[in-house]
Amino acid sequence: MANVAVIGAQWGDEGKGKVVDWLASRADIVVRFQGGHNAGHTLVVGNQVYKLSLLPSGVVRGKLGVIGNGVVLDPDALLSEISRVTAQGLSVTPENLRIAENVPLILPLHSAIDKAREVARGAHAIGTTGRGIGPAYEDKVARRAIRLSDLAEPEVLSHKLDELLLHHNTLLKGLGAETFDKQDLLDRLLALAPKLLPYAEPVWELMDAAHHAGKRVLFEGAQAVMLDVDHGTYPFVTSSNTVAGNAAAGAGVGPKQIGYVLGIAKAYTTRVGSGPFPTELKDDTGRLLGERGHEFGTVTGRPRRCGWFDACMVRQAVKVGGIEGLVLTKLDVLDGLKELRICTGYQVDGQVLKRLPASIAAQEKAVPVYEVLNGWSGSTRGARSYAELPAEAVKYVRRIEELVEAQVVLLSTSPDRDDTIMLRDPFAG
């Protein structure tokens, strides 16, 4: 049986939570390989709703969860999340959660610099969550990050904080923000050490052992392809690579171990925060999609912008993300609409493009080219087979498959994990 990597095929918030929960119940190990606590998955299990930002979804199903080295970890956010799910009846201990010893940590100064920069940008703000994700990745690349393993070595930690504060306090002072005291940070980190170090492990060894033992692994991506720092709508992106190829680097495994790549897309399109959105609807239809789909960010609570399905963008995500099969979620939100539209390209300066241009100026000029399809009068909600779907709904799904050049292997028709039409088992490879 193959491993599976799950990634978003749009701008995030595609309903990955339900899908990864469904897959996690069939996996042995679930690994988060990138991002931070700016991402969120909502899992509905019976009468319980779990909102996860850092914890791998497998912990809800009693499976081993792993936070890989490709993640940037906020210790306070993690401990708060563990406390929250523990109050809901889950057990999270070093027995079922392991964290890469070389994972970079997010410190309070990262959030401070993140927010100060957004304020300084004014009207040109990127729309970050202000949680310090970007600055933490910057420190990682600049080789000044504090890593989990450093908490076990107070002298090393003290020296590294000197270098870190030399950089960040200078920036914070220049931005008119409050600076940080080294001793306060050092005391804070040393107090966290006994709470975090029991989870630390050379995850690459754990993953190698799991591979040789034939364990089934689910690589759980955060955000989505069009938020990838290289391939997304730059600079309105996250600060890590969100494509499936990064699962190898972010978990410490060879590329052949990633397995089958599953992309998640809504039956329409949403986006949180700033940035280009060619198919955005600012009319009653857009508001209707938002209301029916309960479109609010899991982490931020911000309302999501809504629009028609962008097949051109998802096709691009399929190609650069290595997506082999597609999951289409929230099909039921489209029930009752008389007319549906799918974007098949963009008009930019008199040319029709079949891709989203790299230039931010060109992205903002992009006018969608639509194909119009009939809606359906029946209900798709709760359907568990294609035979239960209205004929026009099946045509809509089939047309999406043709345009994005990928097969829909799973179809979600409600938030209930059992309301899923499976056409192919991702773990079968």
| Residue 86 assigned as binding residue | no
| Tokens describing residue 168 | 């960040």
| Residue 420 assigned as binding residue | no
| Residue 412 assigned as binding residue | yes
| Tokens describing residue 17 | 């939570």
| Residue 307 assigned as binding residue | no
Nearest to 419 by CA among 39, 42, 44: 44
| Residue 143 assigned as binding residue | yes
| Residue 58 assigned as binding residue | no
Task: Give the H or E element holding residue 4.
Answer: strand 4-8
Task: Please report how many Cα atoms fall inside a 13 Å half-sphere around the Cα of residue 194, on the Cβ side.
Answer: 2
Which of left, alpha, beta for 176 (phi over 0: left; psi -120 to 50: alpha)? left
The residue type at 259: G
CA 31/CA 271 separation, integer angstroms: 25
| Residue 331 assigned as binding residue | yes
| Residue 93 assigned as binding residue | no
Just list the catalytic residues.
Answer: 13, 41, 140
| Residue 380 assigned as binding residue | no
| Residue 179 assigned as binding residue | no
Task: Give the H or E element holding residue 319.
Answer: helix 311-321
Task: Please report how many Cα atoms fall inside a 13 Å half-sphere around the Cα of residue 91, on the Cβ side.
Answer: 7
| Residue 238 assigned as binding residue | yes
| Residue 195 assigned as binding residue | no
If you count DSSP H runs as helices and E runs as strands, how many of each does the chain have, helices first? 12, 18
| Residue 13 assigned as binding residue | yes
Hey, what's the torsion of the CAs at 21, 26, 31, 33, to 10 degrees? -70
Hey, what's the torsion of the CAs at 190, 67, 246, 165, to 10 degrees? -10
Which residues are within 8 A (CB) of 310 and not within 5 positions of it... i.e. 6 or more apart? 10, 269, 278, 279, 342, 343, 368
Specify whether the CB–CB gap between 324 and 2 falls below 8 A: no
| Tokens describing residue 6 | 């799950």
| Residue 284 assigned as binding residue | no
| Residue 303 assigned as binding residue | yes
| Residue 300 assigned as binding residue | yes
CA 209/CA 220 separation, integer angstroms: 19
| Residue 208 assigned as binding residue | no
Annotated binding site for Mg(2+): 13, 40
Annotated binding site for GTP: 12-18, 40-42, 304, 330-332, 412-414
Known binding-site residues equal 12-18, 38-42, 129, 143, 223, 238, 298-304, 330-332, 412-414
Q: Which residues carry a binding-site annotation for substrate?
A: 298-304
